[in-house]
Amino acid sequence: MELEKLTALQLGEKIKQRQVSVLDGVKTVFEQIEKQDSEVHAYLDTYREEAYKRAEEVQKGIEDGTYTSPLAGVPIAIKDNICINGKKTTCASKILENFVPQYNAEVIDRLEKAGLVIIGKTNMDEFAMGSTTETSAYGITRNPWNLEHVPGGSSGGSCAAVAAGETYLALGSDTGGSIRQPSSYCGVTGIKPTYGTVSRYGLVAYASSLDQIGPVGKDVSDCAALLEIIAGHDTKDSTSMKREDLQFSKELTGDIKGMKFGIPEEYLAEGLDPEVKASFMGVLDTLKELGAEVEFFSIKTMEYMIPAYYIIASAEASSNLERFDGVKYGFRAAEYEGLHDMYKKTRTAGFGEEVKRRIMLGSFVLSSGYYDAYYLKALRTKALIKKEFDQAFGKYDVLLAPASPFTAPKIGESLKDPLAMYLGDIYTVAVNLCGLPGITVPCGKDSKGLPIGIQMIGDCFMEKKILRAAHAYETSRGSFAVPGEGGTR
């Protein structure tokens, strides 16, 4: 039995039926990691001994009825900006190279309560700032479909691990597309939930008003099941929402007859790769065949989305990252003269180029004389963008967009031109600015064999609609594909 080809729910069912053990699934994952992670580099750290011990505990818990979740016993990987008690959490940055939190993030407690087995920490762009997982201080992650290409970012390690069979599930974080874009590049499924649906307690902040933890899996059903586990109100997070409608898996009926899908015309304009566009148009045809209504409309604020996002995100980042100064924890420069010199040398050596760039941009837009001209204007623009999306959802159930204007670039290409890298987020940032839920599902491959993903966007708290639509499309498209020739599997 090729266990690595099973989905998370399929593995969970086989464990429940006692056809395989929890340990079998965990061993399968570590075999895949041994076989290929030296090339892919999806992980920064793995917990083999702890995972084997945990597998035995969970096995007993399943047998005695302690763990009843459909995902009990399933291995999961965690992005390295989510705290695990007693385990290094570096955010892929030198400045946190030795930071070991003494508490769990809320999502980790929920995973453990449900009986999942944590395999290790995945690589990411430093402090989640990047779109390629090339800004990590600990080396780049490669795309399992083609090792010369990036996996996307900033949750590239999580998405690459799922695509390569090095885990069944993963958690990522999404600030401007950091789950949805790498899911597209790696040919997996990823969800960014409505802001406030999943607790941010224990997530190292990049931009607090935009960050959201979400699931990455092989298909929509896996992601829905994982979202049910991690979603819910948390008193430790002041932005956490009280919601009653968290039974997402029940919505996966396959029926989308009569659902209305809206496509912003501007999303198909100049800059979209012809192969990505062709694949996108094929999705529209499939949705029509399934009985859905598809219609184009216009979003006038599109040109302001990237500027508003990068001003707000960088402003919040400059504030959030000022705590990393070498005083209480993390890296500290070896030689310095006085407190201010220690700050300067620690931050100069501890932060990478992309992080420094965003801290400087954020500090600038928050500075006296520029606060009104940039930061407040960006906040007003954000409100206008939200208003346009509200109007669109008055008419449509789900909005459709490409997840990225192109497929995964070659390693080294994006970092040559940071502005071009920022513009690559054009289809994803509005979801975070407006606090909306979004999901990426695979919808094809380009001529180089690289995956293409489509993004489905819902109104606030309407995860069920996008999950229903994504599952119906996925079911008609066929099963989850894995990297073949040119990949690592």
122 contacts 44 by C-beta, under 8 angstroms:
yes
pLDDT (tens digit per residue) in 284-324? 999 999 999 999 999 999 999 999 999 999 999 999 999 99
Tokens standing for residue 141: 């992650």
| pLDDT exceeds 70 at position 446 | yes
Q: How far apart are CA 312 and CA 324, in angstroms?
A: 20
Q: What pLDDT was estimated at residue 417?
A: 81
pLDDT (tens digit per residue) in 160-187? 999 999 999 999 999 999 999 999 999 9
- The H or E element spanning position 366 is helix 353-366
114 contacts 106 by C-beta, under 8 angstroms:
no
Provide Rg for the chain, Cα atoms: 21
Cis-peptide into 154, omega within 30 deg = yes
Question: How far is residue 479 from each of residues 136, 354, 387, 431, 450, measured CA to CA in Å?
Answer: 32, 38, 37, 27, 17
- Which residues contact residue 270 at a Cβ distance below 8 angstroms, ignoring those fewer than 6 apart? none
Q: How confident is the model at residue 273 (pLDDT cuts 50, 70, 90)?
A: very high
Query: Could you give the 3-state DSSP secondary structure of residue 200?
Result: coil
Q: How confident is the model at residue 489 (pLDDT cuts 50, 70, 90)?
A: very low
DSSP 90: -
Q: How far apart are CA 40 and CA 176, in angstroms?
A: 24
Q: How far apart are CA 468 and CA 466, in angstroms?
A: 5
Average pLDDT, the chain: 95
**Residues classed as catalytic:** 79, 154, 178
147 contacts 177 by C-beta, under 8 angstroms:
no
Q: Among the listed ranges 57-66, 420-429, 454-463, which one has the minimum average pLDDT value?
A: 420-429
Q: What pLDDT was estimated at residue 1?
A: 66
pLDDT (tens digit per residue) in 331-374? 999 999 999 999 999 999 999 999 999 999 999 999 988 999 99
β-partners of residue 440 are 190, 455
Tokens standing for residue 270: 């100049």
Q: E-assigned strands of 362-415?
A: 398-402
Mean pLDDT, residues 58-73:
98
Separation of first and last alpha carbons in the chain: 16
| 111: nearest Cα among 170, 31, 191, 62 | 170
Q: How far apart are CA 311 and CA 379, in angstroms?
A: 9
| pLDDT exceeds 80 at position 245 | yes
99 contacts 88 by C-beta, under 8 angstroms:
yes
Angle between helix 48-63 and helix 8-16 axes, rounded to 10 deg: 50
Q: How confident is the model at residue 271 (pLDDT cuts 50, 70, 90)?
A: confident
| pLDDT exceeds 70 at position 202 | yes
Q: How far apart are CA 155 and CA 182, in angstroms?
A: 7
| pLDDT exceeds 50 at position 435 | yes
Tokens standing for residue 303: 């040109």
Q: How confident is the model at residue 481 (pLDDT cuts 50, 70, 90)?
A: low
Q: How confident is the model at residue 484 (pLDDT cuts 50, 70, 90)?
A: low
- Give the torsion sign (CA, 215, 437, 255, 402): negative
Q: How far apart are CA 403 and CA 152, in angstroms?
A: 11
Q: What are the φ and ψ backbone dihedral angles of 446, each rounded to 5 degrees?
A: -90, -175
| pLDDT exceeds 50 at position 432 | yes
| pLDDT exceeds 90 at position 423 | no
* Placement of tokens 């012809």 in the chain: 274
| pLDDT exceeds 60 at position 479 | no
DSSP 5-44: GS-HHHHHHHHHTTSS-HHHHHHHHHHHHHHHHHHH--EE
